[in-house]
Structure 1
């Protein structure tokens, strides 16, 4: 969870790098966020972004917001909808939570400090998580295996490990996580690699240690997920927000 307040003159223009989490943003400033995706442009005061295939551009003026990144396993309960419905999609939280979304926004605006805002947000997520749907234990286990291996697990063997058919696992995993296992593993591997790039490590070493065939393979993955080169992606400020609930 992170709080952001723009103190600069002029608009904010940020590229949002894909990561293996569902992102919630509650805008508390004067104006809406303008979100550009492959499907068009939206103006939103709060949003939920699913597991993305490519980067988003978010713009706004006098931006002040709370951002939360949710594990897909948690998002399934908190959002009250399947993450598959949010695959590469950005929607308003009002579409998901109805009248409670603007009420939550007002409470956050009135909070006296960022600590109070974070506490309110934590309480909200906990309440919704207690009453929302839960993922299958087999799906949760497979997701944890993918994340724990940093995307390098052989996804073809996951079904046998949970004693499910491949068809059943792929169907349930996509419905409850938002991506099929192979795509999820690719996203997790990319996320690990791009954070190492941001930390200043060399691309050749990252490629060799992260399961890429070579440095060109890493370059293609970064370009596919972000639309920019590894050197440019490594400078994105959004990579500093790492906590996933």
Structure 2
């Protein structure tokens, strides 16, 4: 299997494209070797991506950004689709890699466990099983990111070869939601699937770990984040103030009733207002690294000191 050229996105970080036959299931690989002088905190926003992070060195502390509770510490971790943002912290030293899977890819690789991951983090060993330690050790001792990513191609290619497929109706519903950025009415999805509303919700949870309405909210948020950051991420000379979308414009483009509805929904999922989210990206102590997936806004650095506000 052949792969695309690796991309160095920031110091200590390399992104790799999976082999062509895997790209309907694997969105990308991201290798990292960080040795910072200070701890780092990052906000990970809700996305339609299932992530498996395999640690060679260092641990992550994860906490819900909207409903804080005691932090959970992980070495290697699997994260399903989440409706609320996650604050991820580490002590400054972190070496490993992350695999970004589509929901279909997660189901094909892990079966019903993919649905059980919805809204949760779990030790990656609980998902990958006893093979995890062997896989992680082999990756850690393999020289160079290209060889590591090729090893992942082989590992996930073998899982996909025999894994279960999504139910066709779930696939159809997900495609409608993705193409509309979460704006298709649930009634339309119920009618198109041929199931009752209750049946559709149950089957969707089995496959993705979330109900269709919850998944739609994530897609709508991602559309909002993409529109919101598109202006800010352009070179200064190419982003005149008059081109910046107003709150009302943003709400209308992304499927909210009005700006108030947008702000409430954004706060409920991210833990801050859109304005605060943008401001924190501009003023972060470290440059914002590339997102885990190239066509999605996946998060922002919030602080280089553990325990400080974001």
Provide closer, same or farther for how the CA distance between residues 203 and 47 of structure 1 changes in structure 2, counting only shifts above 3 A. farther
Helix, strand or coil for the counterpart of 1:63?
strand
Moved more, 213-222 or 136-145: 213-222
Instruction: Write the distance in 2 (CA, Å) between the matches of 1:218 and 1:102.
Output: 43
Deviations 1:131-187 (A, max 9, x none): 222210110111011011111111211121132222221211111111111111111
Larger radius of gyration: 2
Moved more, 114-123 or 190-199: 114-123
Indicate which of 186, 189, 197 corresponds to 2:220. Answer: 189
Name 1:224's counterpart in structure 2: 268
Q: Could you tell me the TM-score, scaled by structure 1's length?
A: 0.90
Contact 1:16 1:238 (8 Å CA) reproduced: no
Indicate which of 277, 293, 305 corresponds to 1:242. Answer: 293
Instruction: Write the distance in 2 (CA, Å) between the matches of 1:202 and 1:76.
Output: 37
Instruction: Give the unaligned 5+ runs of structure 1.
Output: none
Name 1:233's counterpart in structure 2: 277
Indicate which of 257, 262, 281 corresponds to 1:213. Answer: 257
Which structure has the highest helix share of the two?
1
Deviation at 1:55, TM superposition (A): 1.4
The answer as to 2:147 corresponding to 1:104 is no
Contact 2:107 2:115 (8 Å CA) reproduced: no
Instruction: Write the distance in 2 (CA, Å) between the matches of 1:206 and 1:117.
Output: 41
Deviation at 1:238, TM superposition (A): 6.8
Name 2:51's counterpart in structure 1: 23
Name 1:36's counterpart in structure 2: 63
Moved more, 169-178 or 111-120: 111-120
Instruction: Write the distance in 2 (CA, Å) between the matches of 1:243 and 1:90.
Output: 22
Number of residue pairs the alignment of both structures matches: 243
Instruction: Write the distance in 2 (CA, Å) between the matches of 1:39 and 1:238.
Output: 27
Instruction: Write the distance in 2 (CA, Å) between the matches of 1:238 and 1:192.
Output: 20
Contact 2:119 2:210 (8 Å CA) reproduced: no
Contact 2:118 2:208 (8 Å CA) reproduced: no
